[in-house]
Amino acid sequence: MATYTMKEAKPAPSGSKGIIFWLKTNLFSDVRNSLLSLVGLYLIYLTIPSLLNWMIFDATWSGTQDEVVNSGARWIFIIEKFDQFIYGFYPEHLHWRPNLVAVLCVAFLMALKVLKNNKTKIVIMLLFPFVCFILISGGWFGLETVETEKWGGLMLTILVAAVGIIASFPIGIVLALGRQSDMPILRTLCIGFIEFVRGVPLITILFMASVVLPLFFHDGIEFDKLLRALIGITLFQAAYIAEVVRGGLQAIPKGQYEASEALGLSYWQGMILIILPQALKISIPNLVGSFISLFKDTTLVLIIGLFDILAMVTLTNSDTNWLGYEVEGYVFVTLIYWVCCFTMSQYSKSIERKFNTEH
Amino acid sequence: MNNKQLPIDGKGFLNNPQHRAVFFQIIALIAVIFCAFYFANNMFDNIEKRGITTGFSFLDNTAGFGISQTLTNYDDGTSTYFDVFIVGLLNTLLVSILGIIFASILGLLVGIGRLSNNFLISKLSLIYIETFRNIPILLQILFWYNVVLAALPSPRQSMNYLDSVFLNNRGLLIPEPIFESGSSAILISFIIAVAAVFYLTRWSRKRHDKTGEEFPLIKVSLAILILAPTLVYFIVGQPISAVYPELKGFNFRGGLAIIPELLALLFALSIYTATYIAEAVRAGIEAVPKGQKEAAKALGLKDHVILSKVVLPQALRVIIPPVINQFLNLTKNSSLATAIGYPELVTLFSGTTLNQVGQAIEIILMTMAVYLTISIVISLLLNWVNAKMAIKGR
């Protein structure tokens, strides 16, 4: 009779875990993959060290421009011109006003979260833009008036984006409802407007607003440059918001519309109480996406002569004491835009994920 | 039982939804017409007061300014504003088409790289996408133009590749092909080759339907497309030659010069749009259910057949609509060239011509009409593609 002896258990194959294993499966699994990895590593080797050197290790962070000895970025330029990048030509002794508005905005958002009473919320929402406007432009309550020509920099960028999104939102919703309505004339008008605006570049609308719009009104009615740009941007954005909201409206099951009618609600009651809350909720990710493009598109106002933060790069470089600092300026502005847009897009993705788990 | 109908308490005209619809629409129409009338009235007043001429007769006037890049015959002294319009339009189309080609290639590569099982490539693609799509396109255009291209050396110190391609701060110089007599034969042979490939495709598809036999279509078609014109080229006696750029004094003579504005615009537009195309490609391929690939493998199909017959047809249905939208966006974004002075439609027409003529309404309407036409053509194309690709239910 044969005897069977138990075999010793072998140790787990070496390299089914650990760095080597990871490298083997993820980077060097076969010849093609290895070649690709090497190309990738070479790309990293080309860009990252020189970029880090330029931005951090060889950079000049303080001192005057005579002391610049390193070959890296000269951030002293940004530090010197920082106020101009943020406030434009806004008088220096009045910088507290935009700062106060920024603080108020944070307080406003917190208040909206904390407050429970809807009526107070709506009152605050309606009052807040006026408070901000009065604080920035002045002319009331003994505040010194600051003409819009002096507004600029990041402040102007945020202002244009904020006005664009807030003013275009109600117009966009009305356009979306009009496009979805059963009334043929109304629908045609809305479709015509939306498709026209979406078919042309923003820059032509801005040109239209800045050159043609004044021709449409009596001589007495004067628009300043900023207002014209804002009108153009608002109309442009409204068409895009309308399409986003329409997507939301179409996603609402027909039963919801019928149920609201069955309850005896009027059109507006049904829309405001039942349809729009659901439609807007599911369009939030796309609305954020649309806001990101608006935020990026605000740079276009420099073409019609407003001084947003991007225009400040050229402007600060026209100072004869500080010539040839474009690179630092562009990189600084790029970082600001990138951080803002990236944060917003991550936020929109997180909302999307949150909604996805619900069903 | 009381069968008497309930009294309708609101007997007013507006309580009938149909009447109400008509009423509101009439009000809306009146409001729009009133606004249009008011604006038009003011407009004519203002135009008269400022002494601006109206109408499109300005198009026949001589423009009299130079343009740095013209695809048609344009003469500073004699060409009219209409010629300027055409030059601008062609330059817009040129940068759009080139941009679309580069953005598609780059976007496709990055989109596939994003799905690669190579960790490094996938992450590098992600970094590329997240970096460039979050920077405003205008900023990118200005950066390429004012920083990167401005830092290039002067013509005398040009970067030199094989003595035929030169890069300096006045642009990129490449050899210019010269077509002598006989080159039309090459073109004709190419057209014949295309037609042959077309019929070959139909024939092989029919044969495949009948017998199930595969025909190496792609290899044979490529061979026809490349070999036929090449053969004709040598038979006719090599009628195409090239003029190489040469440094004469302070600048280059000969060769095809690509102005730095076009380079900056192409770089920025393709890099920016490619991020969106890459995302569309990734989303499209990910949208194909895993079971489809597994089922195809279970049927014993080879990897390239799975890709071409199972994955791609389903992925393309998701990929193509957003990509075509991005093509339209790229075309619209090309109008930002006005910030760096590339002579396209907005720069030449809404910029220079508007400044000289002052007829804002006509000029801006013409510019808008061009972009509207382009976008209508592209959306018709999109509808056609959607109809063609729709899943055909039986």
Q: A1: pLDDT confidence band, cut at 50, 70 and 90?
A: low
**A108-122 pLDDT, tens per residue?**
888 888 888 888 888
- Residue B142 and residue A216: Cβ atoms within 8 Å? no
User: What's the mean pLDDT when you consider all of chain B?
Assistant: 84
pLDDT given at position A358: 52
Please state the rounded mean pLDDT for residues B121-149: 91
Residue appearing with tokens 């002075």? B341
The answer to whether the Cβ–Cβ distance between B42 and A199 falls below 8 Å is no
Beta strand extents in chain A (DSSP E only)? none
Kindly list the residues from chain B whose CB atom is less than 8 angstroms away from the CB atom of residue A341.
Answer: 134-135
Q: What is the pLDDT of residue A236?
A: 94
Give the model confidence (pLDDT) of A178-233 as tens digits. Answer: 988 888 888 888 999 999 999 999 999 999 888 888 888 877 777 788 888 999 99
Mean pLDDT, range A48-61, rounded to an integer: 83
Q: What is the pLDDT of residue B9?
A: 54
- Give chain A's end-to-end CA distance (angstroms, integer): 64
Select from B340, B322, B385 the least CA-distant residue to B95. B340
**pLDDT band of A15, cuts 50, 70, 90:** low
> What is the mean predicted confidence (pLDDT) over A336-350?
90
CB A185 to CB B47 under 8 A? no
Q: What is the pLDDT at residue A239?
A: 93
Is residue B3 predicted with pLDDT exceeding 60?
no
The shortest C-alpha distance from A36 to chain B (Å) reads: 7
Q: Which of the residues A22, A51, A177, A207 would you substitute to probe the B interface, choosing the one with the greatest number of B C-beta atoms within 10 Å? A: A207
A71 pLDDT tier (thresholds 50, 70, 90): confident
Contacts of A164 (CB under 8 A, 6+ apart): A230, A233, A234, A237, A294, A298
Instruction: Check pLDDT > 90 for residue A285.
Output: no
Tens digit of each residue's pLDDT (9 = 90 or more) over B240-271: 777 777 777 667 777 778 888 999 999 999 99
Best of B18, B129, B142 to substitute, by most chain A Cβ atoms within 10 angstroms, is B142
Q: What is the mean pLDDT of residues B138-157?
A: 86
How far is residue B377's CA from residue A199's CA, in Å, rounded to a whole number? 11
Strand-pair category, B246-248 with B251-253: antiparallel
Give the pLDDT of residue B43.
82
Q: Is the pLDDT of residue B1 over 50?
A: no
Res B295 pLDDT > 90: yes
Strands in chain B per DSSP E: 159-161, 165-168, 171-174, 176-179, 240-243, 246-248, 251-253, 256-258
Average pLDDT over residues B174-190: 79
pLDDT tens sequence across B183-192: 788 888 889 8
| Other C-beta atoms lying within 10 Å of the C-beta of residue B6 | 6
- Residue B53 touches partner A, C-beta closer than 8 Å: no
Per-residue pLDDT at A237 exceeds 90: yes
- The SS3 call for residue A151 is strand
- Provide the β-strand partners of residue A88: A151
Long-range contacts of B145-150 (CB under 8 A, 24+ apart): B145/B260, B145/B261, B145/B264, B145/B265, B145/B340, B146/A326, B146/A330, B146/B340, B147/A326, B147/A327, B147/A330, B148/B264, B148/B267, B149/B260, B149/B263, B149/B264
Helix (H) or strand (E) holding B159: strand B159-161
The rounded percent of chain B whose pLDDT value lies above 70 is 95
Q: Residue B278's pLDDT band (boundaries 50, 70, 90)? A: very high
Query: DSSP class of residue A147?
Result: -
Average pLDDT over residues A233-257: 91
Q: How many residues comprise chain A? A: 359
pLDDT at B346 over 50: yes
pLDDT at B296: 93
Question: What pLDDT does B155 receive?
Answer: 76
Across the range B226-235, mean pLDDT stands at 83
Greater model confidence, B177 or B265: B265
Phi, psi of A236 (to 5 degrees): -60, -50
Q: Cα(B316)–Cα(B216) distance, rounded to whole angstroms? A: 22
| pLDDT tens-digit readout, B74-83 | 777 788 888 8
Query: A232 versus B5: which is more confidently predicted?
Result: A232
The DSSP code for B78 is T
Q: Report which of B255, B49, B263 is spatially closest to residue B152, judged by C-alpha positions.
A: B263
Looking at residue A200, its pLDDT comes to 92
Could you say which of B28, B118, B372 has the minimum Cβ distance to residue A33? B118
In the structure encoding, which two tokens stand for residue A132, read together?
């901000």
CATH number of the A153-356 domain: 1.10.3720.10
Residue B270 to chain A, least CA–CA distance (Å)? 17
Closest CB from A186, A201, A342 relative to B335: A201
Q: Which amino acid does the sequence have at A292?
A: I
Tell me what pLDDT residue B361 has. Answer: 85
Short-list B75, B92, B60, CA closest to B343: B92
Backbone CA torsion sign across B112, B117, B118, B120: positive
Nearest residue in chain B measured CA to CA from A210: B360
Cβ-based neighbour number of residue A357 at 10 Å: 6
Given a cut of 90, whether residue B281 has pLDDT beyond it is yes
Assess A186–B contact: CB distance below 8 Å, yes or no.
yes
pLDDT (average), residues B122-127: 92
| Higher-scoring residue by pLDDT: B213, A259 | A259
pLDDT for position B274: 95
Kindly determine whether residue A37 and residue B130, on different chains, have CB atoms separated by under 8 Å.
Answer: no
pLDDT band at residue B333, thresholds of 50, 70 and 90?
very high
Min Cα distance A116 → chain B (Å) is: 36
Q: Whole-prediction pTM value? A: 0.85
* Residues B335 and A204 sit within 8 Å (Cβ to Cβ): yes
**What is the model's pLDDT at position B297?**
92
pLDDT tens digits, A125-170 = 888 888 888 888 877 777 777 777 788 889 899 999 999 988 999 9
Size of interface A-B (CB pairs under 8 A): 142
Instruction: Decide if A104 touches B, using CB distance below 8 A.
Output: no
Residue type, position A156, single letter: L
Q: pLDDT exceeding 90 applies to what percent of chain A?
A: 22
Touching check for A342 and chain B: CB below 8 Å?
yes
**Directed axis angle between helix B360-389 and helix B81-115, to 10°?**
40
Residues B268 and B99: their CA atoms lie apart, in Å, by 9
Sequence-distant (≥ 6) Cβ neighbours of residue A342 within 8 angstroms: B130, B134
Closest CA to B239 of B282, B187, B293: B187
What's the CA gap between B95 and B343, in Å, rounded?
Answer: 10
The pLDDT value given to residue A201:
92
Please give the ipTM for the structure prediction.
0.86
Mean per-residue pLDDT, B103-116 = 91
Query: What whole-number distance in Å separates Cα of residue B272 and Cα of residue A284?
Result: 24
Q: Which amino acid is at B44?
A: F
Residues A312 and A152 sit within 8 Å (Cβ to Cβ): yes
What value does the mean pLDDT take over residues B219-246?
A: 81
Most confident of A37-41, A93-97, B68-72: A37-41
Best probe of the A interface among B50, B335, B374, by most A CBs < 10 A, is B335
Is there a contact between B361 and A296 if contact means CB atoms under 8 Å apart?
no
Q: Which residue from B32, B143, B372 is facing A199, i.e. has the nearest CB?
A: B372
How far apart are the CA of A208 and the nearest CA of chain B, in angstroms?
7
Cβ-Cβ contacts under 8 Å, B139 against chain A: 299, 310, 330, 333-334, 337
Q: Is B371 on the interface with A (CB under 8 A)?
A: yes
Helix A326-356 vs helix A76-87: crossing angle, to nearest 10: 60
pLDDT of residue A148: 78
Report the run of H or E that residue B258 belongs to, with start and end: strand B256-258
Distance CA A238, CA A253 (A): 25
Cross-chain residue pair B346–A216, CB shorter than 8 Å: no
Output the six-digit token pair for A213: 């719009």
* Ramachandran category for residue A76: left, alpha or beta (phi over 0 → left; psi -120 to 50 → alpha): alpha
- Residue B117 dihedral angles phi and psi, to the nearest 5°: -85, 0
The shortest C-alpha distance from B152 to chain A (Å) reads 14
Across the interface, do A326 and B339 touch by the CB < 8 Å criterion?
Answer: no
- Mean pLDDT check: name the lowest of A50-64, B195-209, B303-317: A50-64
